[in-house]
Amino acid sequence: MNILTFVLVLLVAIVLALAGFTGVASWLIERRNPPVGSFIDISGASIHYVHVPAPAKADLPPLVFIHGASANLKDQMLPLRPLFEGRAEMLFFDRPGHGWSGRGPGNNETQEGQAATISALMDRLGIKDAIIVGHSFGGSIAATFALEQPDKTRGLLFLSAATHPWPGGDTSWYYSLSARPVIGRLFAAMVANPAGLMRIGAATTCVFSPNEVPDGYVDEASIELVLRPRAFRSNAIDVEGLYRHALKTAPRYPEIKVPTVVISGDADTVVYEEIHSIGLARDIPGAELVWVSNLGHKPDWVAPDLVRAAVEKLAGQPRDLQAMARAVEARIAGDAYGTDVCVNEKAAT
């Protein structure tokens, strides 16, 4: 066997080993994280969702929750569902291509396509309109939904949103690589899973930093689901296209006329809060910015009481969100988790 043949055989063996590892690991991930809701076909995409019907005496309008990148419906359902149980109809769902939802043959790679999927899902479940709650990347879809479906938007709540163009428009290299047609599929099928499993703890620390990651978060919120090849690539395509979407859509935000609250921490290591959140408060008429010192990227988990109050205010109930923000600041003032390793981790989303 000459050296060239040996190298080729070695490369094939490595490829097969990585692909085999990813296949087994993905199977185990799915076994550990089965679906928790129902499935419905929306324009050829199988959408996984949890619908909490309206209680007999609801004091809040329906709520629709849109999760961010690398996540699934459990990321918002776990901390927020208990706060609104018995008070509001709720819809949690895996965005197309995420969690247990399929991508489908339509244009679910765009915010407009995903907003249309949400609208159709609401129609199928009999939800006429709702307060839309979008976290991180989900914020860009929430804003798009409000522009495309104003009659179905009762109010908007943005949590650490990613909605505006940022300098350079760069994203993490593995998103850009994975979004490519051929090499992206190969990367997702062979490298993303083993590399992601090794990095998931550190990455989660930086998502929450400077606040503490809740015990059991990765397992309970089924975060590993994003490490399956199709989900990883769907996530990468979403994120890689965010800058282009923001360029064309951000100038339209002044068209949004519904009550809006923007919650953001000043210590976010994931998105540029000084661009996105301040931009939303500037561009959407009447929007209230709730700025929280030493809060990272996860107000839904770190400050769920503030999220609850924001929803109540959007529903017309008197709430002093600025005073509540000061109370949250006092509670988390000493948080410094991951600050030694995450200070330079900020990217587009």
- How high is the pLDDT of residue 1? 60
DSSP 222-240: TGGGGGSHHHHHHHHHHHH
Number of Cβ atoms within 10 Å of the Cβ of 44? 11
- How high is the pLDDT of residue 144? 98
Instruction: Report yes or no: 253 and 284 within 8 Å, Cβ to Cβ.
Output: yes
Strand partners, 156: 132, 260
The label of the residue with tokens 């290591």 reads: 269
SS3 content of the chain, % helix, strand, coil (to 5): 50, 15, 35
Between CA 279 and CA 172 the distance in angstroms is 22
Q: How many helices (H) and strands (E) does the chain have?
A: 15, 8
- How high is the pLDDT of residue 348? 46
Between CA 311 and CA 307 the distance in angstroms is 6
Number of Cβ atoms within 10 Å of the Cβ of 56? 6
Residue from 120, 101, 100 nearest 112 by CA: 120
Q: Which amino acid is at 28?
A: L
- How high is the pLDDT of residue 2? 80
The label of the residue with tokens 């908007």 reads: 156
Q: Could you tell me the CA-to-CA distances from 171 to 51, 130, 181, 243 in Å, in that order? A: 33, 32, 17, 9
Between CA 209 and CA 202 the distance in angstroms is 10
- How high is the pLDDT of residue 18? 81
Q: Is 265 exposed, middle or buried (0-12, 13-18, 19+ CB in 10 A)?
A: buried
Strands (DSSP E) contained in the chain are 38-42, 45-52, 63-66, 90-93, 130-135, 153-159, 260-265, 288-292
∠ at Cα 63 (61, 261), nearest 5°?
90
Instruction: Print pLDDT tens along the chain (349 aa).
Output: 688 776 676 565 676 778 888 999 999 999 999 999 999 999 999 999 999 999 999 999 999 999 999 999 999 999 999 999 999 999 999 999 999 999 998 889 999 999 999 999 999 999 999 999 999 999 999 999 999 999 999 999 999 999 999 999 999 999 999 999 999 998 999 999 999 999 999 999 999 999 999 999 999 999 999 999 999 999 999 999 999 999 999 999 999 999 999 999 999 999 999 999 999 999 999 999 999 999 999 999 999 999 999 999 999 999 999 999 999 999 999 999 999 988 654 554 4
